[in-house]
Chains A and B, each alone.
Chain A
Amino acid sequence: MFELSGVLHRYGAVPAVEVPEWRAAAGDAWLLAGQSGSGKSTLLHILAGLTRPTVGSVTVNGTDITALSESARDRWRGRNVGLVPQRLHLVGALDVRDNLRLAQTLAGLRVDDDRVTALLEAVGVIELSRRLPSQLSQGQAQRVAIARSVINRPALVLADEPTANLDDAHAAQALELLRGQAIEARATLVVASHDALVRSLLPNLFALPAWDVAAI
């Protein structure tokens, strides 16, 4: 679960995103909707502890992450956040299996190969374990990124436009997979998207207003 209150982030003098209040319960699945430039990515980064908001507090499972030091937030993020970034980036020098192990190591956890195997099976890419990211299709990389996001059983799974590069059939499949894995890990899921298809698959909606540039 998480709770945002009075969150406002500015880049210099330019406001990027404003969230007076947003509460999500454990296991909830949310769509974070908004036009391009409405601050969806910024808000995800704030939830992930990558960006500290200019003002406001972000509490995840009782921890106010805006009060943590940067290195404490790094450690917290490794244990508590699973991120599916826009570009699905996997570490290019490592094969699929090692990418998942890396996520465990960087979170300061012991490498659990059984968990890695189970997850690769669950997302249907076990036979690609020894492939390098450059040898994967977009859809396959997507599945690995989803597996990676839940490997440490995080409290929060955050996905940034996960369906942007997929056709409708694959997009629905990826989203189902993401949701299923988040439920499995008992994580709160937030998917930032402006894809109408996603809307129909996630029960909760948080919509960001578009900034009216003329009004600033």
Chain B
Amino acid sequence: MNILRLAFAYARRRPLSTLLVVVMLALGVATVALTLLIARELETRLTRDAEGIDLVVGAKGSPLQIVLAGVYHADVPPGNIPLSAVTALRRNPLVAQVIPLALGDSFQGFRIVGTEPELVAQYGGVLEAGELWSQPLDVVLGSEVARTAKLRLGDRFTGSHGLAEGGGQHADARYSVTGVLAPTGTVLDRLVLTSLASVWTVHEHHGEDTNAPREVTLALLKYRTPLAAATLPRAINSDTALVAASPAYETARLLTVFGAGFDLIRAFAWLLVAASTLMLFVALAQTLAERRYDLAIMRALGASRAQVALVLLAESLFLAATGTLLGIVVAHAAAAAIPWWMPQLAPLADAARHFMPEEWMVVGLAMGVGIIAALWPAWRAYRLDVAATLAEG
């Protein structure tokens, strides 16, 4: 019959107010924790996917669009660039590496990317089975594509036109799976990789002009020297019909925009936490009136002033702890459930598996809520005049 059990018994005797306080606190904590988790995962992902890519070059369009399309495979590219532009970039002494990308088709929502084997190396990809493409229409699947589409080596499928699901099928061109990559935790997991020639072949079949100059969509560049950062983007942007965009810069800009949104959501969530503090305080202050006689009896039974004050503090902390822990659990469950409620953000579900130091801070603050809400009621209990209360009869 310790003080915690007593606190639990009291909380159980007024289920509605207990439920309300716990649920509100849990919602507040869950929202704060979830925005922290998602923001962190987003930043990690965006940074990891852009690692080692110094510049993305594409047709005229916004730099953000070019980065979104070329690095994160999250937007449509602005248009095509001639293969000769890639060749020219390769000859530039400031450039260490150029990886061309030919986009346009997709398979079950996953992008089919015509490229060169260097792209696999860029993301640290390793073959789990099979080998890289050698013939046109050979494809290598990212781990998530293989898992979701349940494709194995030797399986054949057709791509659909366009980057979203539901485009017309290229029924006459069947890809064949020659390799499957191990998971990398990057955007590579969600790509179908093939040779540039494959993409050209598919679109020739489609009745496009075979004599037209070869084109790609984008090129990923790595600088030979840090000096290139100062001159190369400007040179490309002013001297050619191309646009050069820096993933680092665009990503930082994107995170600032997201960050402001997250901050706003979090501010509302803290408001929820503050409101539940107030409710906890009101609930305790109200029961104090009904419970004065209980507390007096406990004093008569030998409890000290500190002990009766502790009963209220324990009850408050018990509710705050329940709400906080529930909130943390809900946040992680919600993160794990992202693929169901926001399929396009599915990779962020990884956030559910990590605990952040900030979450401990949230737990600490919410427990502080429990203490603050109980301070005045506990003080009243401490100051209770036992003889007078008992004599009230």
Contacts and interface: CB of A to CB of B under 8 A. Distances in A.
Contact of A89 (B1, B294, B302, B307): B294
A78 B13 contact: no
Given A102-B6, A105-B1, A106-B307, A79 B302 contact: yes
Interface string A107-137: 1100100000000000000000000000000
B302 A75 contact: yes
B227 interface: no
Interface of chain B, main secondary structure: helix
Contacts of B393: 86-87
Interface string B30-60: 0000000000000000000000000000000
A104 interface: yes
A106 B9 contact: no
A74 B1 contact: no
Interface string B250-280: 0000000000000000000000000000000
A92 B294 contact: yes
A50 B10 contact: no
Contacts of A104: 1
B298 interface: yes
A78 B297 CA distance: 11
Nearest to B13: A93
A48 B300 contact: yes
B19 interface: no
Given A51-B387, A98-B1, A98-B9, A91 B297 contact: yes
Given A85-B297, A106-B307, A78 B302 contact: yes
Contacts of A48: 300
A41 interface: yes
A78 B304 CA distance: 10
B305 interface: yes
Contact of B390 (A70, A85, A93, A98): A85
Given A42-B387, A86-B393, A71 B9 contact: no
Nearest to B304: A74
Given A50-B390, A85-B390, A104-B1, A91 B298 contact: yes
Interface in B360-393: 386-387, 390-391, 393
B293 interface: yes
B182 to A, nearest CB: 57
Contact of B13 (A50, A92, A106): A92
Contact of A91 (B294, B386, B390, B391): B294
Interface in A76-99: 77-79, 81, 83, 85-87, 89-94, 98
A150 interface: no
Nearest to A134: B13
A74 B387 contact: no
Nearest to B302: A78
A32 interface: no
Interface in A11-44: 41-42
A74 B298 contact: no
B12 A93 contact: yes
Contacts of B12: 93
A93 B312 CA distance: 13
A111 B301 contact: no
A179 interface: no
Contacts of A81: 300
A111 B2 CA distance: 10
B305 A70 contact: yes
B299 interface: yes
Interface in B280-303: 290-291, 293-294, 296-303
A75 to B, nearest CB: 6
A105 B9 CA distance: 15
Given A51-B387, A94-B9, A98-B9, A71 B304 contact: yes
Max chain B Cβ within 10 angstroms of own Cβ: one of A41, A87, A93, A108: A93
A74 B9 contact: no
Contacts of B296: 89
A143 interface: no
Contacts of B2: 105
Contacts of A90: 297
B301 A103 contact: yes
Given A105-B1, A106-B307, A77 B300 contact: yes
Contacts of A78: 301-303
Given A50-B387, A77-B301, A93-B6, 19 more contacts: A41-B390, A41-B391, A45-B391, A74-B299, A74-B305, A77-B302, A78-B301, A85-B390, A86-B393, A87-B293, A92-B13, A93-B9, A93-B12, A102-B1, A104-B1, A106-B307, A107-B302, A111-B1, A160-B390
Q: Which 6 A-B residue pairings sit nearest by Cβ, starting from the closest?
A: A78-B302, A101-B1, A93-B9, A105-B1, A45-B387, A106-B301
23 contacts: A45-B387, A48-B300, A71-B305, A71-B306, A74-B303, A75-B304, A77-B301, A77-B302, A78-B302, A85-B300, A86-B391, A86-B393, A91-B294, A91-B298, A92-B13, A92-B291, A93-B294, A94-B1, A98-B9, A103-B301, A104-B1, A105-B2, A106-B302
